[in-house]
Structure 1
């Protein structure tokens, strides 16, 4: 006998959104999260208009936006000291005409609170899945680290880019290669009336400053595997490079006192060629790890969850077998994943690669055109903000 109809492994954006939507459809759903809370720093927190519009369709947007967040209505880049406007979200359809810079723990806590209102939902914290239960070639649930076995009609692997379940299921992974890593750190700042999130390119370095109100969430781009070399040059050199590239940080850079305050994000860019096995479906980072370029990861993960619920929740709620429908989820989401990853690879090599090699002596023509012709800024706003083949809520409500 199954403990639930759908078991979601991983309490990140894909997992929590899937858990909410399946339970909303009346499907008995359990989400497993290996940590005791959602408080992990330097996780994706750029909630794009496509995601905001989904919450509006669910009638939850106003409630979501009561959580702490900052609004980014336009994006800009600073190349050798000159600012260029890149994207303007104010003309997008719907109410989501900005990026909500919301700490991911707030986003996930909001989703968990809403899901707990649903009778069909349950959440097991501090429960780490370490293996699969398989019978007659079909996945029937998971084995947890604490020895607990949890059986389910369908198991959804949403356990991130290092997915244990993906590996256990031997799903074929295609590594696309990522030539960069990112160093994350915080610097204090004064709160401004306008969000000043921007990217900076100068002197062979690239730094992104995410305005989080009273602090900068900073990202310095480095070459793949170069963190040890950066540390050998010393913290003084690191601070000087950041200040020279992004002068906006000012004296706040002196508040960076120790390498322990700098966190390494090992960037991965990969995707599964097949997202499923009988009884198992992978979504989000478990199906396709994205580069931090564009901050699209959390939003693609949410779109995966919506697509999965749109295709599967109704039939499962009706007591139907879902295995024959799993490929439809991959087929639905494959195009936007491949397209965005291709765009990220191009940016890795043609923009970030050129910046790190100090081959950018002036802003590219496209950047100058976007800055000079305001209506053009609506195009990158649509690509970044709404994505490709965006999803809408089609899953039933019990």
Structure 2
């Protein structure tokens, strides 16, 4: 069942300090955030007959420049759910390698075609289509409910235990009481803030400007990075378009903006000359999305009655495009660990701690790997205009497949338990 409520509540509802409740519901699990982690967790719980309500703040799933990479690890999870073949019927592109091209040569950073998996590639699938697919599948189960336009504002806390949330939408306040509340509401997590979680942050040396340009039939397929003139351009195959990422030093956006759009176009063509015939398609700053790159994780992913997963628990750098996949792996582990306690309607703090215990080490390892790539590749090029040198591990035959395995499959395999 899907309930749609307006994204903006009435002024009377906002101004009313008494929080007159339009309706109150109870459920076993309330998930806040309809991204990949929240949607997959809701599906996994609903499949087991566990009542679950999924709250999404927006009125649809369509957001520009969201992560669109479905890695082999997630495809294997989809296969275990019997959904892989139908998912791949949606329009998508396949990235079998990650390459970096410089004026001197081309270096392969990761080759997925060598992996022992039925899905030796990254599927480039629009996230909006993936989320619609997962939630439509979840709607086949009577214990699943999706509420769009639900703007969560408060946690319900009694005797030190989180008992649910209050959200605005549909012209007023609504209340959901739950055995377990899960925060899966992304890098700007409202529940992380409301719950008072403390984060451990790193300082990635870069930010990214995202935009799109037409892709021509003679262009190479897949994805690649282009390096030259002290600049880095990322190109991701979106079928008829390239999703372009222009990497800039941290904090350099305002300076670039002041230099003007023509200067940006010139810099892009300097690195990727074949775009000269279509760079004019980038004609307004409104076509450019600015991403402030962050990397962090919370110290504790849980409080009594409340668990954080995905970007709410750990914000990933875009290096390797692994954020979606680690979020979905979080969801699978959470479902594996918590399904029985939820069926018993008794989720202990030790159950929530077990989810973090299984997922924290893989998160630490991939964030360390991303930091290494940023320091080995991005920092020298962006700050000193140095010539690109392949990371040391690519020069060791025994480690050559390590980046592909880590990006594609994660640190430890995660499987759906039934």
Instruction: Place the TM-score, normalised by the shorter chain, in its bin.
Output: over 0.9
1:46 paired with 2:72, answer: no
Q: How do 1:111-150 and structure 2 match up within 5 A?
A: 111-146=134-169, 147-150=173-176
Which residue is 1:15 aligned to? 38
Which residue is 1:348 aligned to? 374
> 3-state DSSP class of the match of 2:82?
coil
1:255 paired with 2:278, answer: no
Contact preservation (8 Å) 2:28, 2:345:
no
Deviation track 1:144-170 (CA, whole Å, cap 9, x = no partner) reads 023111111100000111111111111
1:29 paired with 2:52, answer: yes
Give the distance between the partners of 1:196 and 1:187, measured in 2 at CA. 15
Post-superposition offset of 1:19: 0.6
Picking from 141, 147, 159, the partner of 2:185 is: 159
Post-superposition offset of 1:204: 0.9
Picking from 386, 392, 398, the partner of 2:415 is: 392
Contact preservation (8 Å) 2:393, 2:399:
no
Give the distance between the partners of 2:412 and 2:401, measured in 1 at CA. 17
Deviation track 1:7-46 (CA, whole Å, cap 9, x = no partner) reads 0000001110111111111110110001111110100011
In the superposition, the TM-score normalised over structure 2's length comes to 0.90
Deviation track 1:349-388 (CA, whole Å, cap 9, x = no partner) reads 2210011124432533648748xx7x96533211110011
Unaligned runs of 5+ in 2: 1-23
Picking from 327, 332, 349, the partner of 1:301 is: 327
Give the distance between the partners of 2:393 and 2:93, measured in 1 at CA. 25
> 3-state DSSP class of the match of 1:148?
strand
Post-superposition offset of 1:102: 0.4
> 3-state DSSP class of the match of 1:42?
coil
Give the distance between the partners of 2:133 and 2:100, measured in 1 at CA. 32
1:209 paired with 2:235, answer: yes
Q: How do 1:72-221 and structure 2 match up within 5 A?
A: 72-146=95-169, 147-191=173-217, 195-221=221-247
Change (3 A) 1:198 1:248: farther
Change (3 A) 1:192 1:281: farther
Change (3 A) 1:91 1:362: closer
Contact preservation (8 Å) 1:187, 1:216:
yes
Unaligned runs of 5+ in 1: none
In the superposition, the TM-score normalised over structure 1's length comes to 0.94
Give the distance between the partners of 1:386 and 1:196, measured in 2 at CA. 18
Contact preservation (8 Å) 2:394, 2:400:
no
Post-superposition offset of 1:194: 5.8
Give the distance between the partners of 2:372 and 2:111, measured in 1 at CA. 22
- Report the count of equivalent residues: 392
Change (3 A) 1:209 1:131: same
Give the distance between the partners of 1:192 and 1:391, measured in 2 at CA. 38
**What is the root-mean-square deviation of aligned Cα atoms in Å?**
1.8
Change (3 A) 1:173 1:113: same
Contact preservation (8 Å) 1:192, 1:213:
no
Moved over 6 A (4+): none
Which residue is 1:3 aligned to? 26
1:232 paired with 2:255, answer: no
Contact preservation (8 Å) 1:2, 1:153:
no
Contact preservation (8 Å) 2:58, 2:148:
yes
Post-superposition offset of 1:79: 2.2
Change (3 A) 1:191 1:53: farther
Give the distance between the partners of 1:55 and 1:309, measured in 2 at CA. 15
Change (3 A) 1:260 1:323: same
Contact preservation (8 Å) 2:249, 2:383:
no
Contact preservation (8 Å) 1:25, 1:314:
no
Change (3 A) 1:366 1:321: closer
Contact preservation (8 Å) 1:84, 1:368:
no
